[in-house]
Every structure is written in C-alpha cells, then in structure tokens.
Amino acid sequence: MPLTGTTDPYLPGSIPFHQYLEQLEWVFQHNKLAANDYKISFLAVCGQEVYTMLKKLFPGEDFKDLTYAQLTDKLKKHYDKSDSEVIHSFKFWSRKQGQHEKAEDFILSVKVLAERCCFGDFKDRAVRDLLVMGVYDRSLQKRLFDEENLTAEKAERIILNQELSTNRTRILNNDGDRGTSLVNRLGRRPERTHRRVGFRNRSRSYSKNRSFSSDRNSGKPVFECSFCKRTGHTRKFCFKLNKSPRKQKHSVKFIDSTPANSASSGLFKRLKKDLSDDDDMPCLMISSVNKVNEPCYVEAVIEKRRLTMEVDCGSAESVISEELFNRNFKNLVVKPCNKRLVVIDGKRLTVLGKVSVHVILEGVQQQLDFVILRCEVDFIPLMGRTWLDVFYGNWRSTFAKPTLPTQRVNAVENDQVVVDLKNITWR
C-alpha cells in the first residue's frame, strides 16, 4: 500500500540525516506501519543516492539479512559526522548576518549553532553577544550597544522590529515614487509635453537668427565621458581613448595559451563596468584552461541539486550557461532579464533571462536569481557579488582598507618632490 504524506528522498548536505529519519518515522507511524516494515518502506523512499551509499557501506551483503537499525545507524555515522567542540564554537562565533539575509533566518541560525556548543548556563549570554556582534546594520548595532539590561530575548525583538519597520518604510516610499520613477529612469522631465506646446505657440517677436535648440534639447540627458571629462559622448565612443597609447599595449598571455583573436579558441574575456556608460554590468568568464593560478570553487545545493561554482568577486551577477541550465533546471520558469553584460571590447553577451532558484550554502538558505547566458562553449557557473553578499557577507571588508608594508615604502619629503618635478624635462 503506498504511503500517504511521504517525504522527498534524502539529499545529502541539505539537512542532518537524523532529522530526515525522524520525520520519515513520523510518516511511518501516520500510515500505521509495523516496526518490521520500516526497512522496506525506508529503502523504497530513501532515494537513489542513499541506496547507492548503502551498497558501498555494506559491500556484498544482502539487505534482506540486515535490520532497519543496522542500515540507519551506518548512514547516521556516515552523513552526521560530529565535529569537535572547538569547531562548533568556531562556527558559532564566526557567524555573521549577510547583507540580504533576513533577520529571522539569522536569529534562528544563531540559536541552532548555540545548541551544538557546550555553553550550559552561558548560552543565553552567548546568543545575545553574537546577535549584537553579527548584525549587519551598524546603526542597529549601535542601538543595541546603548540598550540597558540587554538580554537575548530583548535583542531578538529589537532586531526583528527594526527589519519590519524598515521594510514598511521602503514599501511606502516606493508607492509614493511610483509615478515618477519611470520618468527619472528615462532621463526625461514630466513637463516635457507642456514645453512642446509652448514651443509651438512661441511669440513671433523672437529674432530670426535666434536658435531654439536649447529649448528642444532641455529634456535630453547630458552624457559625460569618464576618460576625457568632456560632454557630448561616452567613454565607449571617446576619440582620445581610441588614440591612447594604452590601446597599443598587448595583454599578458599565459604559457601555451591560444591567441586572443582566434575565432575558434572559444575563450571568454573579463567584463568591466563603466558607471557613465549605459547600465552595463561586469562579469568574469573563464579565460583559459591553462591558468597559472588555481580558481576557487564552492559546492552549492541549488534546487536540490549539487552544483560546483567558481567564486568571482568581479562579476556583478551569478551566471550559468544555457547548456548547463537545460541539463539541470529546464523545468524552471525563465523570466525576462534586462541586465546587459559587455566584454572589454564592447561586445555584449546574449542574456536569455533569469530564474529564481533556492540555494543552500554554508548553512544559509536563500531564494536568489540566476542569469542564463548563451555562449559557444559551456563553462562552470560563476558566483557573483549578489550571491557572495548573501553567503559570505564579510568578503568586502577584506578589500575595503588595503594596507601597504611600511618597511618597503621609501618616504620622500614634500620639498624633495617639488624639486624633482622641476628638474623633469618635458618633451
């Protein structure tokens, strides 16, 4: 008889195995199964990955001769490997709230980590201290510092209320600006239509030689080049940039790498971002398989599938190729995406759309966007800054304040700098 209210097959890494087993046994009791039927039902619903692992844990043995307790105990030891007390304490005190992580998820994660540590009577104080130290909002952190007789329960309530009030304020402000947001994004003024009427009905007393170009162009956006600092064009079409000596320099090549202009190389280039040109966004694609430095990979659980991704802090978005998307997530609904990605030479990549996926990484679960690209060659998915802010919230602070070793810097007095500049012969 089929089970009613059964659970999904176990996905290693998503939740502890003992938690999955506990929920599954409640399903067995709901269906009024006898204890001797637990093994048959478990093997039927555990999934292909767990069944394959059982074959490896019990090589050459027949499952008919094993009991339910023997099978589950072996799986618990394999999947639920217990860490030492020091590791649990390290994970607890290293927990920080991500930039886009909800306050409720952060608080629940802190409580779960505290249960795994042997804090005893110190647990409430430890939770309170970590909530204050790990909260992302610095103004909220200052408020918690100023609070007298702060407890873990009180800190939790303040953090949740602050997030709720912030979300409500954002919703109210968005409703008030909805009428003008489209006009502001297009760079036009709301009264442009009225200006045209006034232009047509202008008085005949104007001089014949007077130009009305200023009235006609008053509503158009003014472009400024970030390279030559002149108006009327963008960096992409700058004449001085095209004549710059930097264009003559050749990029550094890796050993045994293929030429950059080869049409069959199938290599991708790093994309850059220019804030003054359109809204093009940066992204880092795979440049060569013969790299001198090894890339950094992470393994994330996306829509209950394990997927290896390359960490790329130079990419504004997390991207996946069309071929890899069709192999793993073709059942997901693709939404339109207005983001534009360009390479250094100005060539744009083809963005097919984006999908909303459920991601599990480093104990954090979040619903995030995955941008789909159409490329000639398949590549490893890239984890951009939008995902790094969620799962590794403190990665920006590593590069925020770079320091130079003082023992390697030769200090020069200001007067000496002036003398050296005067002695330079300019050609």
Q: What is the pLDDT of residue 276?
A: 39
- The secondary structure of the chain, three-state, reads CCCCCCCCCCCCCCCCHHHHHHHHHHHHHHCCCCHHHHHHHHHHHCCHHHHHHHHHHCCCCCHHHCCHHHHHHHHHHHHCCCCCHHHHHHHHHCCCCCCCCCHHHHHHHHHHHHHCCCCHHHHHHHHHHHHHHHCCCHHHHHHHHHCCCCCHHHHHHHHHHHHHHHHHHHHHHHHHCHHHHHHHHHCCCCCHHHHHHHHHCCCCCCCCCCCCHHHHCCCCCCCECCCCCCECCCHHHCHHHHCCHHHHCCCCCCCCCCCCCCCCCCCCCCCCCCCCCCCEECCCCCCCCCCCCCCCEEEEEECCEEEEEEECCCCCCCEEEHHHHHHHCCCCCCECCCCEEECCCCCECEEEEEEEEEEEECCEEEEEEEEEEECCCCCCCEECHHHHHHHCCCHHHHHHCCCCCHHHCCCCCHHHHHHHHHHCCCC
Phi/psi at 345 (5° precision): -80, 5
Measured between alpha carbons, how far is 312 from 57 in angstroms, rounded to an integer?
Answer: 37
Q: Which of 284, 322, 281, 368 minimizes the C-alpha distance to 101?
A: 368
Contact of 301 with 11, CB cutoff 8 Å: yes
Binned at pLDDT 50, 70 and 90, residue 184 comes out as: low
pTM (2 d.p.): 0.37
Binned at pLDDT 50, 70 and 90, residue 205 comes out as: very low
Calculate the average pLDDT of the chain. 75
pLDDT in tens, 47-94: 888 999 999 999 988 988 999 999 999 898 888 877 788 988 999 999
CA dihedral over 21, 82, 120, 94, signed as positive or negative: negative
Measured between alpha carbons, how far is 275 from 258 in angstroms, rounded to an integer?
Answer: 32
Binned at pLDDT 50, 70 and 90, residue 257 comes out as: very low
CA dihedral over 300, 302, 307, 313, signed as positive or negative: negative
Contact of 393 with 99, CB cutoff 8 Å: yes
| Mean pLDDT of the 25-47 span | 88
* Domain-wise residue ranges, the chain: 17-79, 85-176, 297-400
Binned at pLDDT 50, 70 and 90, residue 18 comes out as: confident
Least confident of 69-83, 225-239, 313-327, 347-361: 225-239
More confident of the two residues 370 and 260: 370
Contact of 283 with 319, CB cutoff 8 Å: yes
Asked whether the domain spanning 297-400 has the same topology as the one spanning 85-176, the reply is: no
Q: Which of 141, 140, 135 minimizes the C-alpha distance to 162?
A: 140
| Mean pLDDT of the 293-301 span | 82
Residues 6+ apart with CB under 8 A from 33: 41
Residue 142 has pLDDT above 90, yes or no: yes
Q: What is the pLDDT of residue 106?
A: 94
Binned at pLDDT 50, 70 and 90, residue 343 comes out as: low
Domain 85-176 listed as CATH 3.40.190.80: no
The Cα angle at residue 110 between residues 109 and 112, in degrees rounded to 5: 65
Contact of 379 with 319, CB cutoff 8 Å: no
Q: Which of 239-243, 308-312, 377-381 has the highest mean pLDDT?
A: 308-312
Max Cα-Cα span within the chain = 106
Strand partners, 342: 348
Q: Tokens for 324, please give them.
A: 């890899």
Phi/psi at 280 (5° precision): -70, 140
| Mean pLDDT of the 22-49 span | 88
Residue whose structure tokens are 């998820």 = 105
Contact of 409 with 393, CB cutoff 8 Å: no
223: number of CA atoms within 13 Å, CB side? 13
Phi/psi zone of residue 149: left (φ > 0), alpha (ψ -120 to 50 degrees), beta?
left
pLDDT in tens, 88-127: 899 999 999 998 899 999 999 999 899 888 888 899 999 9
Strand partners, 84: none
Measured between alpha carbons, how far is 91 from 116 in angstroms, rounded to an integer?
Answer: 10
> In CATH, which of 1.10.357.10, 2.40.70.10, 3.40.640.10, 3.40.190.290 is domain 297-400?
2.40.70.10
More confident of the two residues 339 and 184: 339
Q: Which of 46, 39, 35 minimizes the C-alpha distance to 10?
A: 46
Q: At what angle do helices 85-93 and 103-115 cross, to 10 degrees?
A: 160
Binned at pLDDT 50, 70 and 90, residue 7 comes out as: confident
Q: Which of 80, 88, 93 minimizes the C-alpha distance to 22?
A: 80
